[in-house]
């Protein structure tokens, strides 16, 4: 008979006592390994995608939220806000904590948290429109100028891009919005039109940035042997440009600039709305810039300033992180 002795698993010496001791050293080791593994995780991707997720959730939530229909906690005499309506329930000083209201109330007396959520509406779709304009026009112009080098087409496109790029983007948008609003019949009314104008202007102002990036990338790839090989295999110029250069090789650049511009639009919208209703979003619409514009010096460290400011900073930073991380992932994953 062998020396081997069967041992019933139920009789094994399991660690007894507390939970920690029961999960044993193996679990601690696993935990440490997991933490160490997380050390190599791309935090930019994690933060960026979380920010984007929150923005999307806020945008969906904003469909169901109408702050004007909520209770206002503003004293009826304190009519400093743009938006009226709602029955005043308590006499509260602006931007002070109100029992039952997360972050307190805004200057109109409405819930600040709800206003911040609803304010996503002011930039989400316009930012998408801006990105669409910049990507479509920028990619097309950059690709054409980069691929058909040495001709009038390239010279003309480069000249026009340089002229637009020479003007500071923010100033260009401010001037354009100023003119546009000044000639509007009802500046406070056509909010959607103003937002569309803003996104179009910013999209156009961003075209040279993307177009020049694509132009350089296409020019660089055109000298690569695989493009020469694609020609040798009989692919058409259109196919090489669209599939081999733009889709396969310029996708990281386009993805990166999409998120940069999304973040940049938030910055511009917040800045213009902060400057006043003649440039940005009218006061009748919730916006992070409007929330900041309504605060006085005394409110500097109150939630009414910190919350929208932090929301804007976090969003811009998160989207920039996301753009970088996705761009790098595209590039690293395949080479």
Partner 1 sequence: MSAAAYAPAPGAILTARDVWVGVQVGNLIKPIVQGGRLTVPTGGILGLVGESGSGKTQFVRMVMGLSSLEPGVFSGSAIYKIGDTEPVDVLDQIQEFSPFRPPGVDELYPERQRIGWAWPLWRRRFRQRLALLRRLGVGFIFQNPVGALNPYLRVGSQLVEAVRVARPKANRAEAEEGALHWLAEVHLKADRHTLGLYPHELSGGMAQRVMIALALAGEPKFLVADEPTTGLDSHIRLEIVGLLNRIMGQGDLSGIVISHDLPMIARLCDRLAVMYRGRVVEEGPIEALGNLKSPNHPYTRELKERAEALAQGKHRRSGSERADAGGTGVVVGRGCIFRTRCGLYARAKAGSGILDTARCEGDLPALDHIAEGHEVACFAGTKLTEAATWEYGEADHD
Residues that bind partner 1 in the complex, under the rule CB under 8 A: 148, 150-152, 223-226, 228-237, 239, 243-244, 248-249, 334-335
User: Quick one: 31 or 229, whose CB is closer to partner 1?
Assistant: 229
User: Quick one: 223 or 297, whose CB is closer to partner 1?
Assistant: 223
Q: What is the largest CA-CA distance in the chain?
A: 103
Show Cβ contacts of residue 42 under 8 Å, excluding neighbours closer than 6 positions: 325, 329
User: Quick one: 195 or 250, whose CB is closer to partner 1?
Assistant: 250
Q: Angle CA(42)–CA(46)–CA(50) in degrees, nearest 5?
A: 165
User: Quick one: 26 or 150, whose CB is closer to partner 1?
Assistant: 150
The nearest distance, CB 40 to partner 1, in angstroms, is: 21
The nearest distance, CB 147 to partner 1, in angstroms, is: 11
Show Cβ contacts of residue 177 under 8 Å, excluding neighbours closer than 6 positions: 194, 197, 198, 201, 272, 279, 280
The nearest distance, CB 141 to partner 1, in angstroms, is: 18
Q: What are the helix (H) ranges across the chain?
A: 19-39, 43-64, 112-118, 124-147, 152-166, 169-182, 191-222, 225-232, 237-239, 248-249, 251-275, 288-293, 303-334
Instruction: Give CA–CA dist 31/197, Å, rounded.
Output: 52
The nearest distance, CB 177 to partner 1, in angstroms, is: 40
The nearest distance, CB 333 to partner 1, in angstroms, is: 9
2 token code pair: 């062998």
The nearest distance, CB 246 to partner 1, in angstroms, is: 11
User: Quick one: 308 or 327, whose CB is closer to partner 1?
Assistant: 327
Cα atoms found within 13 Å of the Cα of residue 303, Cβ hemisphere only:
18
User: Quick one: 179 or 226, whose CB is closer to partner 1?
Assistant: 226
């Amino acid at each position: 008979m062998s020396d081997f002795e069967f041992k019933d698993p139920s009789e094994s010496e399991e660690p007894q006592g507390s939970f920690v001791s029961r999960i044993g050293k193996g679990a601690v080791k696993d935990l440490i390994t997991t933490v160490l593994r997380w050390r190599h995780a791309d935090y930019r991707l994690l933060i960026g995608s979380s920010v984007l997720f929150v923005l999307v959730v806020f945008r969906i939530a904003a469909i169901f939220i109408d702050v004007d229909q909520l209770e206002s906690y503003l004293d009826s005499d304190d009519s400093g806000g743009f938006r009226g309506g709602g029955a005043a329930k308590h006499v509260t000083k602006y931007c002070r904590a109100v029992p039952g209201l997360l972050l307190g109330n805004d200057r109109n007396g409405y819930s600040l948290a709800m206003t911040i959520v609803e304010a996503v509406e002011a930039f989400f779709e316009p930012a998408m429109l801006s990105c669409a304009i910049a990507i479509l026009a920028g990619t097309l112009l950059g690709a054409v100028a980069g691929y058909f080098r040495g001709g009038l087409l390239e010279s003309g496109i480069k000249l026009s891009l340089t002229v637009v790029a020479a003007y500071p983007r923010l100033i260009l948008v401010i001037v354009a919005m100023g003119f546009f609003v000044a000639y509007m019949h009802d500046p406070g009314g056509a909010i959607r039109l103003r937002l569309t104008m803003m996104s179009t202007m910013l999209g156009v102002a961003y075209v040279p940035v993307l177009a020049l990036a694509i132009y350089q990338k296409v020019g660089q790839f055109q000298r690569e042997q695989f493009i020469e090989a694609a020609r040798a295999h009989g692919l058409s110029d259109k196919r090489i440009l669209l599939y081999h250069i733009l889709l396969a090789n310029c996708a990281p650049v386009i993805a990166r600039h999409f998120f940069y511009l999304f973040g940049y639009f938030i910055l511009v919208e917040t800045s213009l709305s902060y400057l006043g209703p003649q440039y940005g979003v009218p006061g009748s619409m919730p916006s992070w810039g409007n929330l900041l514009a309504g605060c006085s010096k005394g409110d500097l460290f109150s939630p009414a300033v910190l919350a929208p400011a932090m929301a804007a900073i976090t969003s811009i930073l998160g989207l920039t992180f996301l753009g970088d991380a996705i761009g790098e992932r595209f590039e690293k994953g395949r080479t």
